[in-house]
């Protein structure tokens, strides 16, 4: 049994995103804890062990979580040169039973469309934190950034156009591992808020969005989880849904901006280009809850 399995995850540093590395550590770590409790080896693990793990956890974990755990187990065994025990009929059958036991569609975040965005902006306080939150909401909506992309933006990723508005270079996305990037554009209002924010914190480089301590913005990048916390905070003030199966989350700006493009008459290919999507089915799921009654 390998005690120091984390060294294999460390080999991935620089080849995968920090979020992916954290997921591998967390997911394989939970599998290792289960194996220790059941006194069976986890690296290498047998296919019987993995199938038993899925059967034992399927009532507690969602199929998507089990699928992610399985990916981590597969990756760690590959890195350790131990083969792939996940490619086994018993493991496949265990996953099929887990999916059939909990049939469900992916939960969609509540989309923050333009109307809801304006309500959130109206709830921002008149201090440095409030100004940061206005930039977070406005830039997140205009760029259709995932939360990890949004917090990774730096000041130098913004360039002024001839009309005074900003172009934003989104350098890397989860479906863009080579870092080719895409360019988004800020509205006049978002540009003005960014200029106010940069003037207030005196920054010409470093993170765009920063944690604020008292009256100072620290030169640090926000954690992705902060996006959801800010949106939920503002949504509660604006009386926008933060509970239930469809609620505000860190993904709500991206979902709502895509829905707004559809409401504005944009075609699905234009939406895909704006948000950097490569799958039409993913975008279709994003915009399926658009209330098209506003057209009549």
Structure confidence by residue, pLDDT tens digits, 161-176: 999 999 999 986 655 5
Other beta carbons within 10 Å of 202: 7
Q: What angle do CA 135, 185, 118 make, to 5 degrees?
A: 40
Q: Can you tell me which residue has the tokens 């895509």?
A: 258
| pLDDT band for position 179 (cuts 50, 70, 90) | low
Question: What percent of the chain lies above the pLDDT cut of 90?
Answer: 65
| pLDDT band for position 276 (cuts 50, 70, 90) | confident
| pLDDT band for position 84 (cuts 50, 70, 90) | very high
Instruction: Give the pLDDT of residue 141.
Output: 97
Instruction: Give the pLDDT of residue 155.
Output: 97
Closest by CA position to 85, among listed 55, 41, 48? 48
Mean of pLDDT values over 242-250: 77
What residues are paired with 182 via a beta bridge? 170
285 or 138, which is more confident? Answer: 138
Whole-number Å distance between alpha carbons of 164 and 175:
30
215 or 102, which is more confident? Answer: 215
Full-model pTM? 0.71
Instruction: Give the pLDDT of residue 266.
Output: 87
| pLDDT band for position 293 (cuts 50, 70, 90) | very low
What residues are paired with 176 via a beta bridge? 173
Mean of pLDDT values over 117-138: 97
Q: Can you tell me which residue has the tokens 């109206």?
A: 122
Highest mean pLDDT out of 41-45, 143-147, 189-193, 242-246: 189-193
Other beta carbons within 10 Å of 89: 9
Mean of pLDDT values over 27-39: 94
Closest by CA position to 262, among listed 281, 288, 282? 288
| pLDDT band for position 3 (cuts 50, 70, 90) | low
102 or 199, which is more confident? Answer: 199
Structure tokens at 92: 């496949």
Other beta carbons within 10 Å of 263: 17
| pLDDT band for position 25 (cuts 50, 70, 90) | very high
User: Is the predicted pLDDT of residue 108 greater than 80, yes or no?
Assistant: no
Q: In the chain, what are the domains? A: 6-101 (1.10.150.130), 114-295 (1.10.443.10)
What are φ and ψ of residue 158, in 5° steps?
-105, 130
The mean of the pLDDT values for the chain is: 88
Whole-number Å distance between alpha carbons of 76 and 85:
11
């Amino acid at each position: 049994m390998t005690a120091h399995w984390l060294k294999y995850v460390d080999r991935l540093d620089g080849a995968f995103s920090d979020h992916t590395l954290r997921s591998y550590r967390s997911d394989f770590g939970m599998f290792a804890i289960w194996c220790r409790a059941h006194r069976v080896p986890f690296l290498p693990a047998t296919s019987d062990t993995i199938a038993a793990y899925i059967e034992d956890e399927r009532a507690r974990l969602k199929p998507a979580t089990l699928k992610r755990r399985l990916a981590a187990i597969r990756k760690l065994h590959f890195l350790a040169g131990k083969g792939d025990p996940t490619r086994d009929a018993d493991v496949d059958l265990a996953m099929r039973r887990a999916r059939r036991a909990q049939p469900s569609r992916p939960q969609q975040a509540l989309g923050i469309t333009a109307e809801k965005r304006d309500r959130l902006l109206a709830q921002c306080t008149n201090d440095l934190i409030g100004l940061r939150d206005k930039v977070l909401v406005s830039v997140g909506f205009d760029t259709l950034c995932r939360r990890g992309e949004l917090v990774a933006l730096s000041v130098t990723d913004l360039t002024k156009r001839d009309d005074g508005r900003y172009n934003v270079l989104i350098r890397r996305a989860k479906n863009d591992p080579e870092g080719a990037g895409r360019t988004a554009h800020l509205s006049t209002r978002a540009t003005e808020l960014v200029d106010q924010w940069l003037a207030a914190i005196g920054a010409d480089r470093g993170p765009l969005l920063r944690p604020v301590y008292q009256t100072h913005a620290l030169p640090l990048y926000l954690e992705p989880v902060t996006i959801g916390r800010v949106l939920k905070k503002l949504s509660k003030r604006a009386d926008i849904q933060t509970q239930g199966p469809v609620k505000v989350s860190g993904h709500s700006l991206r979902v709502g901006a895509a829905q707004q493009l559809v409401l504005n008459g944009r075609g699905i290919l234009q939406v895909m280009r704006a948000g950097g999507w490569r799958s039409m089915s993913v975008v279709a799921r994003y915009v399926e809850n658009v209330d098209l009654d506003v057209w009549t």
